[in-house]
């Protein structure tokens, strides 16, 4: 896909909307990414367009979320949290009640639908909805800062248009809401690489969760041990995600590109740099499929903004050398750069390598053995794969 047309779905309307000040989820990340792209001259051209979305309508939201759930969300946003709303997960520690919860969610969903429509119309090859990525929201339950599931709605819009869809999630948290939406059907292949549910919310997403009924074999989970580093992540990506995507051969790939897998994120325990995520993105680009990229997690704001800006630049085919580093960037003694986009490489201890590899090789083999046969792929031995360098 040469001369890719990129669409950045964004509206300044969302800048007045925010989660509570003490909530780790910061809605400002998408706007800050936009500012970074504008400063680099990477937004506003015909090939790198900025697209204004609209809010999702109630009818569109009801394609996944029941009307009574939407009513409870609106009621809570107006200050009236009911017992029914509490039973739907609203008002918990990770689902606070605030006046903007429904409006922001409907903008995020509308942006996802706008992104899908641009791909379907051939107006973009890759569309970014960094407002969204709310993969924990179930049809009738809020969780994990998520109230309305834009990822599911985008996948549904694409499948309704007759497209073969794969949903790849590399957020540090397992996308349980997205998994649940498609668990019993084969219209969407869901693949998630995430920190193990043994150590991180939502405490699931294990290798034996492979779908049910018609969906059997269309759900793949790779649980990453705490401490997973770049080489180990890419080993899992190459061993599981790439062959499944090649075998399934989707028309469109929806990608949850959460940045909470990066080292230094305050809520997670993985040790990736954005270089690993860009290498994974590069593998997706070589598949030459339209991509719909959604935001997701990322609770270190600056690391998240740099990662998303780097992803946009990578999709745009910019030179792999970090041109922004030449604008005065200097490396700190942490995982951050000032001025540049790429993270520095992080050292991996021998103990970390041994601990991660021992668990990861077994996980990869289990996923392959559970899922690959449904797609005409061979199984792998427990020791599959070279060392994760």
How confident is the model over 164-221, as pLDDT tens digits? 999 999 999 999 999 999 999 999 999 999 999 999 999 999 999 999 999 999 999 9
> What is the model's pLDDT at position 334?
36
State the catalytic residues.
136
Q: 8: which 2 tokens?
A: 């950045």
Q: 341: which 2 tokens?
A: 């986009």
Do 254 and 120 meet the contact criterion of CB atoms below 8 Å apart? no
Residues 254-297 pLDDT 10s: 999 999 999 999 999 999 999 999 999 999 999 999 999 999 99
Whether 345 is in a domain gets the answer no
Whether 388 is in a domain gets the answer no
Strands (E) in the chain, as ranges, are 6-9, 48-51, 126-129, 165-169, 188-195, 219-224, 252-256, 291-294, 330-331, 337-338
> What is the model's pLDDT at position 49?
98
Q: Range of 187's domain?
A: 6-325
> What is the model's pLDDT at position 383?
52
The residue behind tokens 């290798």 is: 207
> What is the model's pLDDT at position 381?
57
> What is the model's pLDDT at position 340?
81
- 3 state DSSP class of 207: coil
> What is the model's pLDDT at position 378?
85
Stated as kind and residue range, the H or E segment containing 57 is none
Q: Is the peptide bond before 379 cis (omega within 30 degrees of 0)?
A: no
Do 331 and 337 meet the contact criterion of CB atoms below 8 Å apart? yes
The DSSP secondary-structure symbol of 238 reads I
Whether 386 is in a domain gets the answer no
Alpha-carbon span 167 to 155, nearest angstrom: 8
Whether 117 is in a domain gets the answer yes
CATH classification at residue 42: 3.40.800.20
Alpha-carbon span 171 to 200, nearest angstrom: 12
Q: 123: which 2 tokens?
A: 């107006």
> What is the model's pLDDT at position 323?
47
pTM (2 d.p.): 0.94
Which strands, in side-by-side order, build the sheet including 291-294? Answer: 48-51, 6-9, 126-129, 291-294, 252-256, 165-169, 188-195, 219-224
Do 337 and 330 meet the contact criterion of CB atoms below 8 Å apart? yes
Alpha-carbon span 322 to 325, nearest angstrom: 6
Going 261 to 264 to 265 to 266, the CA torsion angle's sign is positive
Give every CB contact of residue 347 below 8 A, 6+ residues apart in sequence. Answer: none
Do 340 and 323 meet the contact criterion of CB atoms below 8 Å apart? no
Bridge partners of 294?
Answer: 129, 256
- 3 state DSSP class of 27: coil
Helix axes 301-315, 274-286, angle to 10 degrees: 30
Do 5 and 125 meet the contact criterion of CB atoms below 8 Å apart? yes
Whether 201 is in a domain gets the answer yes
Q: Which stretches of the chain score pLDDT less than 50?
A: 1, 320-339, 385-386
> What is the model's pLDDT at position 324?
46
Whether 172 is in a domain gets the answer yes
Q: 237: burial class by Cβ within 10 Å (0-12, 13-18, 19+)? A: buried
Whether 385 is in a domain gets the answer no
Whether 352 is in a domain gets the answer no
Number of domains in the chain: 1
Instruction: State how far Cα 8 lies from the chain centre.
Output: 16
């Amino acid at each position: 896909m040469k001369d890719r047309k990129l669409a950045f779905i964004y509206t300044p309307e969302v800048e007045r909307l925010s989660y509570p000040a003490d909530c780790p989820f910061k809605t400002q990340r998408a706007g800050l990414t936009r500012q970074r792209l504008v400063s680099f001259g990477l937004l506003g051209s015909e090939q790198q367009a900025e697209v204004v979305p609209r809010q999702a309508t109630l009818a569109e939201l009801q394609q996944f979320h029941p009307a009574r759930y939407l009513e409870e969300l609106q009621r809570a946003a107006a200050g009236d949290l009911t017992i029914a709303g509490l039973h739907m997960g609203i008002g918990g520690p990770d689902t606070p009640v605030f006046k903007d919860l429904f409006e922001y969610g409907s903008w995020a969903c509308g942006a996802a639908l706008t992104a899908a429509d641009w791909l379907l119309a051939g107006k973009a090859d890759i569309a970014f909805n960094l407002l969204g990525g709310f993969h924990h929201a179930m049809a009738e339950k809020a969780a994990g800062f998520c109230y309305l599931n834009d990822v599911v709605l985008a996948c549904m819009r694409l499948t309704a248009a007759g497209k073969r869809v794969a949903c790849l999630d590399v957020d540090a948290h397992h996308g349980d809401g997205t998994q649940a939406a498609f668990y019993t059907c084969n219209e969407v292949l869901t693949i998630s690489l995430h920190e193990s549910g043994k150590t991180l919310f939502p405490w699931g997403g294990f290798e034996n969760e492979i779908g049910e009924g018609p969906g059997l074999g269309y759900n793949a989970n790779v649980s990453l041990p705490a401490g997973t580093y770049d080489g180990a992540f890419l080993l899992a990506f190459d061993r599981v995600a790439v062959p499944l995507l090649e075998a399934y051969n989707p028309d469109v790939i929806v990608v949850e590109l959460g940045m909470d897998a990066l080292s230094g994120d305050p809520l997670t325990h993985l040790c990736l740099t954005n270089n690993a995520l860009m290498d994974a993105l590069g593998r997706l680009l070589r598949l030459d499929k339209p991509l719909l990229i959604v935001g997701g997690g990322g609770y270190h704001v600056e690391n998240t903004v740099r990662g998303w800006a780097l992803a946009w630049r990578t999709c745009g085919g910019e030179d792999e050398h970090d041109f922004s580093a030449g604008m005065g960037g200097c490396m700190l003694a942490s995982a951050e750069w000032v001025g540049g986009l790429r993270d520095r490489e992080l050292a991996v201890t021998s103990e970390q390598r041994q601990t991660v590899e021992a668990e990861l090789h077994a996980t990869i083999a289990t996923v392959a053995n559970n899922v690959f046969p449904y797609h005409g792929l061979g199984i792998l031995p427990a020791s599959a794969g070279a060392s994760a360098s």
